[in-house]
Amino acid sequence: MRRVLSIIPLLALAAGAARAQETPPAQTPAAPAAPQTFESDIRNGKGETIGRIAIRDGANTLVMRVTINPGGLPPGWHGIHFHAVGDCSDTEKFEKSKAHVNHDQSKHGLLNADGPDEGDLPNVYANADGSVNAEVSSDTPLTGEGALKDGDGSALIIHANPDDHTTQPIGGAGPRIACAVIK
């Protein structure tokens, strides 16, 4: 949906460029809007802070940096997703965050022909010391229609195992081991 909407400003830009050839612009174009930003702590199953997410949302794409401190996660690949509710209070299972953000009943999986859902993200890799430094992108916006910061917010959930990006419902990613509120 975002990609469709983004056609309109592109057309406007094209029209603007055509006009610019006829008459010089009276003033310099406005600077592009700065990305919206959001940061939140990531907590593990004991409620301890193990890292942080930092989101920047531009006009068409959201970019999220995931930083996990040494000792934060078991080493190896981990599935991460945006879940539908911004509630990480049940630290044993993080089930209050509900299922993936998914407003149009898409199938789960970045590699699924009938997917992805709006919560799907690439896996992150935890180093031998349990730390992570990763950056992922998503078409799901931070604010506005279908956004992460809707009425009940959303959560970034980190799973015990990697997401295979294909199978239902969560690509075999296993238990939820860490959570960050996006609200």
Structure tokens at 89: 């209070």
Regarding beta strands 76-78 and 124-126, do their DSSP bridges make them parallel or antiparallel, or are they unpaired? Answer: antiparallel
Regarding beta strands 132-138 and 176-182, do their DSSP bridges make them parallel or antiparallel, or are they unpaired? Answer: unpaired
Pick one of 42, 62, 156, 157: the residue that binds Cu ion (CB under 5 A): 157
Structure tokens at 114: 């009938």
Least distance (Å) between residue 170 CB and Zn ion: 6
Tell me whether residue 22 or residue 51 sits nearer to Cu ion (CB atom): 51
Structure tokens at 66: 């995931």
Which of positions 52-111 make contact with Cu ion (CB under 5 A)? 81
Tell me whether residue 52 or residue 98 sits nearer to Zn ion (CB atom): 98
Per the DSSP assignment, residues forming a β-bridge with 88 are none
Count residues contacting Zn ion (CB under 5 A)? 5
Residue 162 site contact among Cu ion, Zn ion, none (CB < 5 to 8 Å, cut-off depends on kind): none
Least distance (Å) between residue 105 CB and Cu ion: 17
Residue nearest to Cu ion (CB): 81
Q: In whole angstroms, what is the distance from residue 11 CA to residue 15 CA?
A: 6
- Span of 41-49, 68-76, 93-101, 172-180 interacting with Zn ion by CB under 5 A: 93-101
Which of positions 95-124 make contact with Zn ion (CB under 5 A)? 100, 108, 117, 119-120
Supply the DSSP string of 97-160, one letter for each residue. Answer: G-SB--TT-PPS-TT-TT---TTB---EEE-TTS-EEEEEEESS-SSSTT-SSSTT-EEEEEES
Residues that bind Cu ion (CB under 5 A): 81, 157
Using CB under 5 A as the criterion, which residues of the chain lie in contact with Zn ion when the complex forms?
100, 108, 117, 119-120
